[in-house]
Amino acid sequence: AQSVSQHNHHVILSEAASLELGCNYSYGGTVNLFWYVQYPGQHLQLLLKYFSGDPLVKGIKGFEAEFIKSKFSFNLRKPSVQWSDTAEYFCAVRGPSSNTGKLIFGQGTTLQVKP
């Protein structure tokens, strides 16, 4: 079955620390990859996405992610987190056989940044 796995369920960091959230997926072939963020009390919103080309993609608010095809991974990174980055982060994958736009989401990672 198609699946997406996020390694960390709850991460606590101090401001200015570096962040890396892991995401692995179980598809073969071409995939589209996404990271979404849900700030407290707000809608889910897109952080960044990868479809093709440069495997290092940059998103909003200083986030970036690297697609490593050989490892089936799409890890999210930020060099220096801020208190305002406190949120829940979701990795999502659209598989190669899907022509429906249907996304498969990971379990989510809650990030808490201490001021």
Partner 1 sequence: DGGITQSPKYLFRKEGQNVTLSCEQNLNHDAMYWYRQDPGQGLRLIYYSQIVNDFQKGDIAEGYSVSREKKESFPLTVTSAQKNPTAFYLCASTAGGRQGDYGYTFGSGTRLTVV
Using alpha carbons, list the distances in angstroms from residue 22 to 43, 53, 74, 84, 88.
22, 21, 7, 20, 13
* 61 and 47 Cβ atoms separated by less than 8 Å: yes
- DSSP state letter for 69: G
Segment interacting with partner 1 (CB under 8 A) among 21-29, 53-61, 62-70, 86-94 = 86-94
- For partner 1, the binding residue among 51, 71, 97, 114 (CB under 8 A) is 51
Of the pair 58, 102, the CB lying nearest partner 1 is at 102
- For partner 1, the binding residue among 15, 107, 112, 114 (CB under 8 A) is 107
**What is the smallest separation between the CB atom of 38 and partner 1, expressed in angstroms?**
9
* 86 and 109 Cβ atoms separated by less than 8 Å: no
**What is the smallest separation between the CB atom of 16 and partner 1, expressed in angstroms?**
28
